């Protein structure tokens, strides 16, 4: 005899088929949804199959093996970050912007760095945070290059040269690290002394430099005016000196000629020449003195300077 409390539940055969069809449709839908992916114009896809990565860069709809292949989309558009200031608020970040120049001056310099993904696989797997690595490399190169220039070049005339040097240095460092990121551009946004006092001092330096330039220009003008006059005087002095030189040389030559002629006479007649030289010397020493030469008695010449003494006696 059957138990009256037992409930006999039976699923109709038609309902079981419906359930199986629904489950199969759900599975098919999941497989279909997990077997396709779409790449836009500014993206690339990195596909991983059993740990092996490959990349796809063609835009459009693509297929993959469901649950076996994993797809990671990588944005390849140009992006950027700031160094030295907050890009969102514009406020200065002194730890990044404050630098020291080659002439030991402080300066605040703001930069903006633009980059893009050049190798999606390396960008995903070569390092944990490639953007942070790029920023650290950029800050290192910026401080090294800015520190090799004087403050005048950093603030005024040397910006383009500094930007080019920093960009080249960053690109070399990125090539060594090979992290799948490439530098697009780097630009100085602003460069100024760090405080108001320093800015005033810098302006004073610039004013002093302008004064220096004015003084140099005035000095050059004075030099251009006076130099021809001085050169003319120098030329005149040189000509006069040359003329005196020729005169002295000619006088010396004449004296040498006279001495040589006298020496020839002396060799021939030494005694007579000595006497003549003595008389000529006496005439030069005492030009107003009258001399009487007495050679009458013993053959010895006597010189008698009589007139000056007799004149003095007559005056008395």
The mean pLDDT value for 136-162 works out to: 93
Task: Please state at what angle helix 159-177 crosses helix 130-146, rounded to 10 degrees.
Answer: 140
As a whole number of angstroms, the distance between CA 52 and CA 19 comes to 39
Task: Kindly report, residue by residue over 192-212, the tens digit of the pLDDT.
Answer: 887 776 667 767 777 887 888
**Predicted local confidence at residue 60, as pLDDT:** 87
Contacts of 185 (CB under 8 A, 6+ apart): 113, 114, 167
Lowest mean pLDDT among 135-139, 274-278, 305-309: 305-309
Contacts of 149 (CB under 8 A, 6+ apart): 101, 102, 158, 162
Q: Name the range with the highest mean pLDDT among 159-163, 238-242, 276-280.
A: 159-163
Q: Name the range with the highest mean pLDDT among 153-157, 225-229, 257-261.
A: 153-157
Task: Kindly report, residue by residue over 64-103, the tens digit of the pLDDT.
Answer: 887 788 888 999 999 999 999 998 898 989 899 999 899 8
Asked if the model's pLDDT at residue 46 lies above 60, the reply is yes
As a whole number of angstroms, the distance between CA 206 and CA 277 comes to 81
Q: What pLDDT band is residue 216 in, cutting at 50, 70 and 90?
A: confident
pTM given for the model: 0.55
């Amino acid at each position: 005899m059957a138990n009256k409390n037992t409930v006999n539940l039976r699923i109709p055969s038609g309902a079981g088929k419906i359930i199986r069809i629904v489950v199969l449709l759900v599975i098919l839908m999941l497989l279909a949804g997990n077997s396709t992916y779409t790449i836009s114009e500014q993206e690339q896809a990195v596909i991983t199959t059993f740990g092996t990565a490959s990349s796809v860069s063609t835009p459009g709809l693509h297929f993959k093996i469901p649950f076996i292949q994993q797809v990671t989309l990588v944005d390849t558009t140009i992006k950027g970050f700031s160094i030295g200031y907050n890009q969102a608020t514009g406020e200065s970040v002194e730890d990044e912007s404050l630098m020291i120049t080659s002439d030991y001056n402080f300066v605040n310099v703001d930069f903006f760095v633009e980059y893009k993904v050049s190798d999606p696989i390396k960008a995903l797997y070569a390092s944990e945070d490639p953007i942070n690595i790029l920023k650290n490399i950029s800050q290192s190169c910026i401080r090294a290059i800015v520190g090799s220039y004087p403050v005048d070049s950093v603030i005024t005339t040397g910006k383009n040269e500094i930007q080019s040097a920093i960009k080249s240095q960053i690109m070399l460092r990125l090539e060594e690290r090979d992290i799948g990121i490439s530098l697009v551009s780097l630009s100085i946004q602003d460069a100024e002394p760090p405080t108001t006092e320093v800015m005033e001092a810098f302006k004073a330096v610039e004013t002093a430099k302008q004064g220096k330039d004015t003084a140099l220009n005035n000095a050059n003008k004075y030099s251009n005016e006076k130099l021809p006059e001085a050169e003319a005087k120098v030329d005149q002095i040189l000509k006069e000196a040359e003329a005196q030189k020729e005169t002295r040389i000619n006088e010396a030559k004449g004296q040498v000629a006279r001495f040589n002629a006298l020496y020839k006479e002396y060799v021939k007649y030494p005694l007579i020449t000595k006497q003549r030289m003595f008389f000529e010397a006496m005439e030069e020493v005492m030009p107003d003195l009258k001399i009487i030469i007495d050679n009458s008695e013993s053959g010895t010449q006597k010189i008698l300077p009589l007139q000056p003494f007799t004149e003095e006696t007559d005056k008395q």
